[in-house]
Amino acid sequence: MVFLVVFSFSPCVFGADYAYSYWVLDHPDGSNRYELNVSVSSSLYDYFVSKDHDLRSSYDFGKFVTPYALKPIADSLRSVYGDDEDFANGVLMVVHQIPYEVSAPQKFPAETLAENVGDCDLFSFVAASVMMAGGLDVVLLFYESEEHMNVGVSLSHAPNDARSSVTYFSYNGQRYYVAETTGGKWETGWRVGECPDSFQGVSAQVVTLEDAEQVSPGQVSASFGALTGSSSITLSLSSGFVVEGGSVSISGSVSPVSVGGVVTIYVGSGGGNFSWTVLSTVSCDSGGRYSYEWWPESSGLYFVRASWSGDVDHAGADSSVGSVRVASSSLVLFGIAAVVLVALAVVVYAVSRRVGRVNEYPVVQ
């Protein structure tokens, strides 16, 4: 069910990673099963939770499609499926295994995968993200009168594996075949081109994905092999206190050594409206070490964490969370001035007391 709502969120949690496994077949009617392991780091989840979720119109749906963040899933599925139709059906198999639960408002795919629940629009964002990352031309199909959404997929050929009449929508001279993301039956669920009876003949708005997020600060981990839990990343701060205009050195290392691997450094702030933003992305050297010099621009309490997205053999890892208190330079100057004034007052008081004692007991000639 799709809801158009305005959303604000203010989490302040430093959780663990989220890991799930999904089954896929080598073909919708095939017998070979593959277990796809997917892990979402807590830093990536927190980043997307902190992003703007406001939805001003149905045309904003596209911003919830994040192909880069889910590309490892697409790469894994592409290693099994060479045909575009089989690949799209493989994506549907994965999405059909996420438990259905009515959700409002909209969420980004990393949130849905981490929370492991969603409804039609959240499932459609996940499916569209993976299909797009796998090289398919996709759109979102929004059935406003029915409060429903699914995906439209352009293929080089009409679907061969649909078990019913094929349904599609035409847009800019292209056919987009319906891909229904709900259902819950991954082995026998909806395939590309099949449309539930309740949406047959219902008009849908085609939402194109020019606004899809092409680059994210990190990616989920995905592999048909076991993602080991032996990866780690450390974080060290040169100081927990700095004055505006000063700098903090952020450093650490990734294990196993990831030469040229990308580390994302996040900074969190905001008090009651806590949010994570990307401070920088840096590459590891030959020893798996990374470093970054940070010059905070404003005073306040900041949290810092680093994340590595992992590889085909290792799940990603998040560092521990460090904190930095940045003091206002004007406040520091005021404090110094106050200390000086107090010191002067003490000196004056001491001198005056001494003079008073001298006057009280004059020297006898």
For residue range 30-73, list pLDDT tens digits in order.
989 999 999 999 999 999 999 999 888 877 899 999 999 999 99
Residue with tokens 């020893």: 287
What single-letter DSSP state applies at residue 318?
E
In this predicted structure, the answer to whether residue 4 has a pLDDT above a threshold of 60 is no
Percent with pLDDT over 90 in the chain: 69
The tokens describing 96, both together, are: 């059909």
What is the rounded CA–CA span in Å between residue 14 and residue 120? 28
Q: Strand, coil or helix: what is 30?
A: coil
* Average pLDDT score, the chain: 87
The tokens describing 132, both together, are: 């797009």
Q: Strand, coil or helix: what is 353?
A: helix
Given a contact cutoff of 8 angstroms between Cβ atoms, the answer to whether 267 and 276 are in contact is: yes
**359 confidence band (pLDDT: 50, 70, 90):** low
pLDDT at 10: 31
pLDDT digits (tens, 9 = 90+) for 177-214: 999 999 988 999 999 999 999 999 999 999 999 989 88
In this predicted structure, the answer to whether residue 225 has a pLDDT above a threshold of 80 is yes
pLDDT digits (tens, 9 = 90+) for 107-141: 999 999 999 999 999 999 999 999 999 999 999 99
pLDDT at 273: 67
In this predicted structure, the answer to whether residue 365 has a pLDDT above a threshold of 90 is no
pLDDT digits (tens, 9 = 90+) for 301-314: 999 999 998 887 78
The tokens describing 147, both together, are: 């409060």
* Host H or E run for residue 162: none
Q: Is 299 exposed, middle or buried (0-12, 13-18, 19+ CB in 10 A)?
A: middle
pLDDT at 55: 86
Residue with tokens 């070490």: 289
- Which one of 30-34, 101-105, 226-230, 249-253 scores highest in mean pLDDT? 249-253
Q: 346 vs 284, which has greater pLDDT? A: 284
What is the rounded CA–CA span in Å between residue 312 and residue 297? 38
User: Helical H runs in the chain?
Assistant: 42-50, 71-78, 84-95, 109-115, 120-133, 329-360
What is the rounded CA–CA span in Å between residue 26 and residue 168? 25
CATH architecture of structural domain 228-327: Sandwich (2.60)
Residue with tokens 């408002």: 105
- Mean pLDDT value across residues 327-344: 62
Question: Before 256, cis peptide (omega within 30)?
Answer: yes
Q: Count how many residues are written for the chain.
A: 365
pLDDT at 339: 61
Q: 7 vs 72, which has greater pLDDT? A: 72
- Which one of 230-239, 325-334, 351-360 scores highest in mean pLDDT? 230-239
Q: Domain residues of the chain, as ranges?
A: 18-207, 228-327, 330-365
Q: Is 104 exposed, middle or buried (0-12, 13-18, 19+ CB in 10 A)?
A: middle
18-207: in CATH 3.10.620: yes
The tokens describing 316, both together, are: 């990603």
What is the rounded CA–CA span in Å between residue 246 and residue 325? 12
The tokens describing 67, both together, are: 């192909």
Q: Strand, coil or helix: what is 351?
A: helix
pLDDT at 274: 76
pLDDT at 84: 97
End-to-end Cα separation, the chain, in angstroms: 104
What is the rounded CA–CA span in Å between residue 357 and residue 105? 77
pLDDT at 285: 94
pLDDT at 8: 30
**243 confidence band (pLDDT: 50, 70, 90):** very high
